[in-house]
C-alpha cells in the first residue's frame, strides 16, 4: 500500500453489479454510507468522444436517493464525468475531480495526445467541506541517487516520515478503468474511514449495458484566410471580444487561453467576480470567436480549474471537436486535507484534428534557458527522477534515459515558485507550460493567439519558438510589460531570467515576510518548539512557548508568517531524504498503523 491514513477505521467494502434500475435504486435508497459508482470504460479508442447515454441523469438520480450524510464517488472516463457534472443537482455538492493514472496510455493516432488518466469525482450530499481522514502518500525515490524525488532542502524537519498529504492527482496508483480497481477502493475505504461511515458500497454499472452515443457534431465555418499583416506579431491592449471580432475566420493555427477564473483575483483594471451565469455567458462568446478564427484541423486549448473546464466543455462541444483533457499537476504540496493541485487544459480541434506537429516531428523537441536542465518540451522527465543538480549531472554522464513518452498527464512543470521569476502579474504561467503546448500544437512560422495574454507568457514563448503571435489583454499595464519583454527577446535577452523585483501583485493568499537577517536560523527555532512540545506532551501555545524557550519570543513573531509555521516541526515527525539499503523504507508510524488495520479478507468482501 502506498498510502496510510491517520486514525482511520477502514470501511468494509461490498460490491454489487445491479442488472436493473430497480435493483440499483433499492441498494442506495436512504443510504448514509460511502458509495462508489463505477461507470464502464471506453472499449474502443475511437469512442473517446462518445459518452454513455443517460449516465448523468442516472448518477443524479442515485445522488437524490442517498441519505443526507452520504459521500458519492463516481469513477469514469472524462466524457462521462462531464455528463455527471452537467446533470448534478444543487442538493449534491461537488468536492473534487481526482485524476487517476492509467496503466497504459490510450490513443496513438497522433491527432491527440495519448490519454493516461481517468477521473474520480467526489460528491457529497452534505454541503460542508469534505470530511475524510488525513491520508499520506509514501515518498518516492529517485532511481539514480536514491533520495526523495522532491528535494526538501532545509525543510526536512517539517515533513512527515509517512509521506506527503494526498492531492487530487493519484499518480502512485496505476490501474485501468476496465480492470481490477481494488487499489482505488482500498484507498477510499481508508480515506473515508471515519464516523458515521462503516461501509464502502461499490456499484458496478456494467450490467445495465449503457450505450455510448456519438459526440454532437459542432457546426463551424471551415474557411481558411490569411491574417492581415498589421495583426502579425502584436500585443493589443483592448477587450478580447472586440478584437477577436476583427480577426478573419480561419486565420490562426493555435489558440491558447488562460482566462480570469472569476475567483476574485486582483487584476489591474478588471474585476474578477462576475455572477456565475454572466461569467459563463461571456466565456461562451469569446470561445465561439476563438473557434471561428482557428483554421480547420487546428486546436483551441483552454486552461481552467476542472469544474469550470466542465462548463467550457459543454459549450466547446457545440462548435468544436473534443481532443484532450490534459491534467497539469502543478505540483503544489498539500498541507491539510486533499488539496486541488491540478488544472485542466481542455483541447478541442476545429473539425477533425490534423496530425499534431509535436507528435509527428514537425516541431522540434527542445529545452530552454529559463527552464530546469531536466525540462524538455516534448520528452517529459520520467517519474521519480529528481532535479538535484549533481544527480542530473551524473545521469547525463552515465547516459541514463530519464525520459518518458508524452501523454496528457503532466507532472514535470511546476507553477512559478520564486518571485525572482515573476513579473508584476498575479497569475503568470510558467513559460515551460507554453513551450510544451506551442511545440505540440503548432509548427515554426505558424500563428499563435492568446486573448488573455496577461504578462505575455504565451506570445513571448511563441516569439522564442519562432511562431508568429497575437496577444490581447484589456490591461494597459500588462500589455506594456509584455511589449517590453518582447523587446528583450528581440535583443537576445531571456525574458524569463531571474531578476530581483519588487512585486505589488500576489499570486498566493499566503502572506510573505520582508527579507531579513535571522539572528537564529528558523530551523533551530522550529526544533526548539518541537523540544518543548515533547516536554509538555502537546504543541505549546504562545504563552507556554514564552515560558519555556531560550530564545526571545520576538524572533518567533518576526521570522514566521503564521503560528502554523512556528509549530510545523512540532506537528510532524521529520523525514529522512535517503532510502535505506535501496529498499522501500517503512516509517515507524506506518508500521504502527498497519498493526491497527483489519485483515484484507475482512476489508474486501463481495455480496
Residue 362's contacts (CB-CB under 8 Å, 6 or more residues apart) are 355, 443
Nearer to ligand SAM, 250 or 426 (CB): 426
Partnered with residue 35 across adjacent β-strands are 72, 201
Separation CA 312–CA 87 (nearest Å): 15
Nearer to ligand SAM, 117 or 463 (CB): 463
Nearer to ligand SAM, 10 or 260 (CB): 260
Closest C-alpha to 57, from 34, 24, 99, 32: 24
Rg (CA), the chain: 25
CB of 305 to ligand SAM, least distance (A): 12
Alpha carbon 326 to its chain's center? 9
Nearer to ligand SAM, 226 or 271 (CB): 271
Partnered with residue 203 across adjacent β-strands are 16, 37
Separation CA 405–CA 382 (nearest Å): 8
CB of 430 to ligand SAM, least distance (A): 8
Nearer to ligand SAM, 286 or 559 (CB): 286
In the bound state, the residue with its beta carbon closest to ligand SAM is 454
Nearer to ligand SAM, 36 or 423 (CB): 423
Nearer to ligand SAM, 270 or 518 (CB): 270
CB of 456 to ligand SAM, least distance (A): 6
CA dihedral 418, 419, 425, 431 (to 10 degrees): -40
Nearer to ligand SAM, 10 or 340 (CB): 340
Nearer to ligand SAM, 267 or 375 (CB): 267
Pairing of strands 234-237, 468-473: parallel
Separation CA 451–CA 434 (nearest Å): 14
Partnered with residue 470 across adjacent β-strands are 234, 449
DSSP at 69 = T
Cα angle 172, 176, 179 (rounded to 5 degrees) comes to: 120
CB atoms within 10 A of CB 129: 11
Closest C-alpha to 470, from 485, 457, 453, 484: 453
Inter-helix orientation angle 78-87/306-316, to 10°: 90
Nearer to ligand SAM, 286 or 322 (CB): 286
- H/E run at residue 600: helix 600-603
CB of 440 to ligand SAM, least distance (A): 17
CB of 425 to ligand SAM, least distance (A): 5
CB of 462 to ligand SAM, least distance (A): 12
DSSP at 447 = E
CB of 486 to ligand SAM, least distance (A): 13
CB of 226 to ligand SAM, least distance (A): 24
CB of 512 to ligand SAM, least distance (A): 20
CB of 185 to ligand SAM, least distance (A): 38
Cis peptide before 196 (omega within 30 of 0): yes
Separation CA 517–CA 77 (nearest Å): 52
Binding site for ligand SAM (CB under 6 A): 239-240, 258-260, 267, 270, 425, 427-429, 452, 454-455, 457, 472-475, 478
Residue 396's contacts (CB-CB under 8 Å, 6 or more residues apart) are none
For the chain, give me the number of helices (H) and strands (E)?
18, 22
Inter-helix orientation angle 55-65/21-28, to 10°: 30
- H/E run at residue 307: helix 306-316
Separation CA 280–CA 99 (nearest Å): 24
Nearer to ligand SAM, 233 or 573 (CB): 233
Q: Where are the alpha helices (DSSP H) in 48-108?
A: 55-65, 78-87
Nearer to ligand SAM, 188 or 423 (CB): 423
CB of 417 to ligand SAM, least distance (A): 15
CB of 412 to ligand SAM, least distance (A): 18
Amino acid at each position: 500500500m502506498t498510502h496510510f491514513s491517520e486514525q482511520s477505521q477502514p470501511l468494509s467494502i461490498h460490491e454489487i453489479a445491479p442488472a436493473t434500475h430497480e435493483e440499483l435504486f433499492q441498494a442506495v435508497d436512504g443510504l448514509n454510507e460511502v458509495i462508489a459508482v463505477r461507470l464502464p470504460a471506453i472499449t474502443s479508442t475511437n469512442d473517446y468522444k462518445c459518452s454513455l447515454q443517460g449516465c448523468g441523469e442516472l448518477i443524479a438520480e442515485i445522488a437524490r436517493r442517498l441519505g443526507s450524510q452520504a459521500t458519492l464517488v463516481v469513477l469514469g472516463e472524462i466524457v462521462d464525468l462531464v455528463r455527471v457534472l452537467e446533470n448534478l443537482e444543487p442538493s449534491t455538492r461537488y468536492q473534487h475531480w481526482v485524476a487517476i493514472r492509467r496503466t497504459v496510455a490510450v490513443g496513438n493516432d497522433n491527432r491527440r495526445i495519448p490519454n493516461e488518466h481517468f477521473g474520480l469525482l467526489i460528491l457529497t450530499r452534505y454541503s460542508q467541506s469534505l470530511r475524510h481522514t488525513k491520508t499520506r502518500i509514501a515518498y518516492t525515490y529517485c532511481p539514480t541517487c536514491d533520495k526523495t524525488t522532491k528535494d526538501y532542502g532545509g525543510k526536512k524537519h517539517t515533513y512527515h516520515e509517512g509521506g506527503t498529504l494526498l492531492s487530487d492527482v493519484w499518480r502512485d496508483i496505476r490501474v485501468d478503468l476496465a480492470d481490477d480497481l481494488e487499489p482505488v477502493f482500498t484507498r477510499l475505504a481508508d480515506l473515508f474511514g471515519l464516523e458515521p461511515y462503516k461501509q464502502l458500497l461499490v456499484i458496478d454499472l456494467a450490467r445495465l449495458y449503457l450505450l455510448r452515443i456519438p459526440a454532437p457534431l459542432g457546426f463551424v465555418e471551415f474557411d481558411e484566410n490569411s491574417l492581415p499583416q498589421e495583426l502579425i506579431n502584436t500585443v493589443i491592449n483592448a477587450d478580447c471580444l472586440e478584437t477577436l471580432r476583427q480577426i478573419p475566420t480561419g486565420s490562426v493555427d493555435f489558440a491558447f487561453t488562460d482566462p480570469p477564473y472569476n475567483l476574485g483575483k486582483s487584476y489591474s483594471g478588471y474585476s474578477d467576480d462576475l455572477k456565475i451565469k454572466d461569467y459563463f455567458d461571456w466565456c461562451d462568446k469569446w470561445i465561439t470567436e476563438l473557434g471561428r478564427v482557428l483554421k480547420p484541423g487546428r486546436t483551441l486549448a483552454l486552461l481552467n480549474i476542472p469544474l469550470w473546464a466542465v462548463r467550457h466543455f459543454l459549450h466547446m462541444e457545440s462548435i468544436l471537436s473534443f481532443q484532450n483533457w490534459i491534467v497539469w499537476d502543478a505540483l503544489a504540496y498539500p498541507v491539510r486535507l486533499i488539496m486541488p493541485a491540478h488544472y485542466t487544459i481542455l483541447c478541442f480541434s476545429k473539425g477533425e484534428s490534423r496530425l499534431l506537429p509535436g507528435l509527428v516531428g514537425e516541431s522540434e523537441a527542445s529545452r530552454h534557458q529559463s527552464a530546469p536542465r531536466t525540462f524538455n518540451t516534448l520528452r517529459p522527465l520520467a517519474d521519480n527522477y529528481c532535479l538535484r543538480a549533481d544527480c542530473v549531472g551524473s545521469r547525463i554522464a552515465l547516459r541514463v534515459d530519464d525520459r518518458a513518452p508524452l501523454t496528457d498527464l503532466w507532472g514535470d512543470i511546476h507553477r512559478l515558485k520564486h518571485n525572482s521569476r515573476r513579473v508584476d502579474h498575479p497569475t503568470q504561467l510558467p513559460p515551460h507550460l507554453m513551450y510544451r503546448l506551442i511545440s505540440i500544437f503548432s509548427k515554426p512560422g505558424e500563428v499563435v493567439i492568446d486573448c488573455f495574454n496577461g504578462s505575455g507568457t504565451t506570445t513571448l514563448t511563441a516569439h522564442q519558438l519562432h511562431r508568429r503571435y497575437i496577444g490581447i489583454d484589456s490591461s494597459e499595464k500588462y500589455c506594456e510589460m509584455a511589449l517590453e519583454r518582447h523587446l528583450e527577446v528581440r535583443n537576445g535577452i531571456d525574458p524569463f531570467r531571474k531578476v530581483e523585483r519588487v512585486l505589488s501583485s500576489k499570486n498566493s493568499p499566503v502572506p510573505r515576510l520582508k527579507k531579513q537577517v535571522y539572528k537564529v536560523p528558523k530551523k533551530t527555532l522550529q526544533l526548539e518548539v518541537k523540544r518543548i512540545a515533547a516536554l509538555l506532551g502537546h504543541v505549546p501555545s504562545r504563552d507556554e512557548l514564552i515560558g519555556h524557550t531560550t530564545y526571545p519570543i520576538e524572533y518567533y513573531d518576526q521570522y514566521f508568517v503564521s503560528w502554523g509555521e512556528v509549530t510545523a516541526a512540532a506537528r510532524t515527525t521529520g523525514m529522512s531524504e535517503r532510502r535505506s539499503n535501496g529498499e522501500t523504507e517503512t516509517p515507524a508510524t506506518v508500521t504502527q498503523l498497519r498493526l491497527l488495520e483489519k485483515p484484507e479478507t475482512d476489508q474486501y468482501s463481495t455480496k
